[in-house]
Structure 1
Amino acid sequence: MSCQHAVSHTNFSTNQTHHVVKLSSQDYVKISLHGIVSTVGIVENLLILAIVGFRVRRSIISVWILNLAASDLLATAFLPFFTLYMARGMTWTLGPTFCRIYSSIFFLNMFVSAFLLAAISLDRCLVVVKPVWTQNHRSIQVVRNVCWVIWTCAVVCTIPFYMFRDAIPGGPGKVFCYYNYARFLPKEPYDLKALCKQRKEGLAFMKLLLGFLIPLTIIVISYVTVSQSLARRGSRRPFRFVRLVVTVVVVFVLCWAPYHLFIILEVLAPKGSPTQKFASGALLTATTIGFLNSTINPILYVFSCPDLCNKIRQSLGAVMESILAEDLGELSRRRSTARSSLSNSELMVRKKSCSTALVLKSEERDQTEVLSL
C-alpha cells in the first residue's frame, strides 16, 4: 500500500457501493477453518481461565498461566472479525475505529505473549540459579505485579499500531484494514515518501525486536543458564512446568517467526519486486498462523499438566453432576413434598381421633364420677 494512496484517502467515507463477493471453494475452506479455530480457541481459553481461576489452588504457576490464557482469549475473541473480513473478500466493513481496535488486539496479544514467556523463563532461571534469593523475594503478589507491568508495557507498545491503522479503500468495493502511514502528519516541512518509509520500517522493526527477538534472546539465555546449572549439580530430574514452558516457547517461535519474516521482507524488498509481492501475499497466511498460537496454547497446558487435565475432567464431571443433582433434587423435593403432605394429613386425622377419644373418655369419667356421688 503506497503512502500517496493512503494520503489521498485519509478522510474517506467507508460507505462503498455494493460489491458482490465471489469466493472460490478454497476460500470457503479457509473461512470455515477460521470459524472452527476461533470457536475452539474461545471455548478452550474460557475453560482454562475457569478451571485455573476457580478450581486450582492459587500459586505462582497458576498466575502465569492465567495471564497467558487471558491474552489468548482476547486474541481468539477477535478472530471471528478476521474471519468476517475474509468472508467478505478481504473487504473491511466495520469502520476505521473498529479496524484500529481489532488490529491492536492482535498486536497486544503478540507483545503480552512474548513478554510473559520472557518473564516466565527468567523466573524459572532464578528459581534454579538463585534458590535462596527467590525463596525470600518470590511471591504470588510479586508475580501479579510483574504481570501488571507486562500488560502496561504491551499496551504502550501497541499504541503506535493503533495510531497508524486505518480502513483504506483499495479498488471497486474494496476496503482494507491496513496501515495508513500518512496519518498525524507534522506541521513543519517534510518529505512525505521518506516519512512514510521511515514509519513503516520503524513499526516493522519495533515488532521484530520487542515482540520477538529480544524476548526470544531472554528465553534462550535463561534456559541455557538453567541447563548449565542443572548439569553442574548433576541433576537430570525433569521439571514438568519447565517442559511446558519450553513447549509453549517453541510453538510461539513457530507461529510468529513466519509473520515477522514476511513483514521484514515486505519492508526491505524493492517496491513492486517479486519478493515484495510474495511477502505481501504470504502475510495473510502468516497472520493466520500467528492467531493459531492462541488456540494451541490451551492444548499444551492440558497435555503438559496432568493435574490441570484432571481438574478439567473433575470440573466437567462436577457440572454434569450438578445438572443431574438439580433434576434429581427437584424430583426428590416433589416426592418429599407429597410425603410430607400425606404425613400431615395422617397426623391431622390421628390428632382428631385422639381428641375424640379423649373427649369420650373424659365424658365417661365425668359420668362415672357423677354416678359414684
Structure 2
Amino acid sequence: MNNSEDTIVTNNNSVADNIPSSVVVYGRHEFLQTRPELAVPCIIVLGIASIVGTLGNLLILFVVATKRKLRNVESIFIVNLAISDLYVTVVADPMSLIAKLEGEEFFGSVPGLCKTVASICTISCVTSMMTIAVMSLNRYVYICANDIYNKIFTKKTCCAISLSVYSVGIILVLMNTVGFGDHGFDQKSLECIWNRMETFPFTIIFSVILVWIPSLITGLCYLRIYIYVRKHRRRIQEHTSQSYSSDGPLKSFRLAKTLFLIYAVFVSCWTPYALLIVIDSKDTFSHEVHLYITMFAHMHPSMNWCIYFITNTHFAKAYKEVFEKFLSCEKRTKTRVHRIEIHQVKVNEAIRHS
C-alpha cells in the first residue's frame, strides 16, 4: 500500500465507495506494517494506559471499600468515576488496540460489536465528565455553603445523582435509533466510536454535552471557591488554628485541589478533541491529527487514580498500605518457596545416601 497516494485501498484492492479520498482503509496488520512510526507509539501508549488505568481504578475501588476513613459521601462520586473509567481502560482501550492491529474487517466479522463498544464508551465517557462536574459542585457547596451541605448531599441523593448521570449518555445513544447520529468504526482514529460525520448537529450536541457543559460547571464552581477563599483568607487562617475541627469545611480544601487537578487534566485531554470534531466538519484533517488527539482524550481515565495519589494524603496512605501488604505477601511467599526447596534438597540427599 502506498500511503502517499490518495486512493482508498481495501483488502480486495478495490476503491471503496462513499469514503473521502484522504482516508486509507487499513486491512489486517496493514497499519502496523505501512505506518510503524504512527502505529508503534500509539499501541505502546494505549497498552500502558489500559493496564495502568485498570489497576489504578481497581485500586481506588479497593481502598474505598476497605478503608473506613474513605467511606463517606464524597467517595460515592469517586467510586462512580472509577467505575465509568474502568469501562474505557478494560474494554474500549483494548478494542482500540485490536482495531489498530486487525483493522475494520475484524469488527465486520462480528455484527454489532463495534457499535456496542462505541455506544457504551459514549455512556461511560459522558458519565465520567458529568461526575467530575457533580464533584466540583459538591465541593463548592461544602466550602462556600456548608450550612446546607448535609441537607443536599445525603447518601441517598448522591447515589441517585450518580445513577442519573448515566441517563445523559444513554439519551445520546438512544438518539441514534431515530436517525440522529450513529456509532461505528472511524477510519481516521481507527477505533469504534460515535460517528462524527453522520449528523453535524449531533456532533455539536455531542461536543457540548461531553466537554463544554461539564467544563463550564466545573470551572464556575472552582472560580467561586477561589473567590470565596481569597475573600475570607484571614478568617480562614484564624479558624484553621482555633475553631474548625478536622471534619470542618476547611478539610475539604485538599480534596478541592485534587478535584481541580482532575478537572485540569480533563480539560487538557478533551478540549482538543471537542474542538477537532466541530472544526473538521468536512473531514479534511489528517489521519495523524485524529489518531493522536482521540488517543490523548482516551488517556484521561487512566490518570485520575494517579492524581489522588499525588494530591490526597488519605488516598496516598491507603495506596502505600496496599502496596506494602502486597510486597510483604510476596516476600513471605518467596521465603516459603525457598524453605520448601531447601527441604526438598535435603530429602533428595537423604535418599541418595540411604
Q: Is TM > 0.5 for Structure 1 vs Structure 2?
A: yes
* Structure 2 contact 130–165 (Cα < 8 Å) conserved: yes
Tell me the CA shift for residue 281 of structure 1: 4.5
* Structure 1 contact 266–279 (Cα < 8 Å) conserved: no
- When normalised by structure 2's length, the TM-score is 0.72
* Structure 1 contact 48–298 (Cα < 8 Å) conserved: yes
Tell me the CA shift for residue 56 of structure 1: 4.4
Change (3 A) 1:251 1:176: closer
Match of 2:270 in 1: 256
Match of 2:292 in 1: 285
User: What are the within-5 Å matches in structure 2 for residues 1-373 of structure 1?
Assistant: 5=18, 21=30, 22-26=33-37, 27-57=39-69, 58-78=71-91, 79-88=93-102, 90-94=103-107, 95-160=110-175, 164-166=182-184, 177=192, 200-234=199-233, 235=236, 239-267=253-281, 271=282, 276-278=283-285, 281-322=288-329
* Structure 1 contact 116–150 (Cα < 8 Å) conserved: yes
Q: Distance in 2 between matches of 1:97 and 1:46?
A: 28
* Structure 2 contact 95–191 (Cα < 8 Å) conserved: no
Tell me the CA shift for residue 73 of structure 1: 1.0
Change (3 A) 1:212 1:24: closer
Letter in 2 for 1:133: I
Moved more, 120-129 or 278-287: 278-287
Tell me the CA shift for residue 69 of structure 1: 1.0
Tell me the CA shift for residue 204 of structure 1: 0.8
Tell me the CA shift for residue 160 of structure 1: 3.4
Change (3 A) 1:322 1:286: same
- When normalised by structure 1's length, the TM-score is 0.69
Moved more, 106-115 or 149-158: 149-158
Q: Distance in 2 between matches of 1:80 and 1:166?
A: 16
Letter in 2 for 1:35: G
**How many matched pairs?**
292
Tell me the CA shift for residue 207 of structure 1: 1.4
Q: Distance in 2 between matches of 1:329 and 1:19?
A: 47
Change (3 A) 1:127 1:179: closer
Moved more, 66-75 or 103-112: 103-112
Bigger radius of gyration among the two: 1
Question: 1:251-282 CA distances to partner (integer Å, 9 max, x unpaired)?
Answer: 00000011111100122xxx4xxxx4226642
Give the 3-state SS of the residue equivalent to 1:257 in structure 2. Answer: helix
Q: Distance in 1 between matches of 2:207 and 2:272?
A: 11
* Structure 1 contact 108–158 (Cα < 8 Å) conserved: yes
Give the 3-state SS of the residue equivalent to 2:158 in structure 1. Answer: helix
Q: Distance in 2 between matches of 1:65 and 1:208?
A: 24
Q: Distance in 2 between matches of 1:289 and 1:208?
A: 16
* Structure 2 contact 119–173 (Cα < 8 Å) conserved: yes
Tell me the CA shift for residue 59 of structure 1: 0.4
Q: Distance in 2 between matches of 1:330 and 1:23?
A: 48
Q: Distance in 1 between matches of 2:302 and 2:176?
A: 23
Tell me the CA shift for residue 215 of structure 1: 1.6
Moved more, 72-81 or 37-46: 37-46
Give the 3-state SS of the residue equivalent to 1:166 in structure 2. Answer: strand
Change (3 A) 1:208 1:330: closer
Tell me the CA shift for residue 159 of structure 1: 3.1
Give the 3-state SS of the residue equivalent to 1:66 in structure 2. Answer: helix
Q: CA RMSD in A?
A: 3.3
Q: Distance in 2 between matches of 1:223 and 1:130?
A: 14
* Structure 2 contact 81–131 (Cα < 8 Å) conserved: yes
Q: Distance in 1 between matches of 2:319 and 2:58?
A: 12
Match of 2:11 in 1: none
Tell me the CA shift for residue 91 of structure 1: 2.7
- Please, which runs of 5 or more residues in structure 1 have no aligned partner? 7-15, 182-196, 332-373
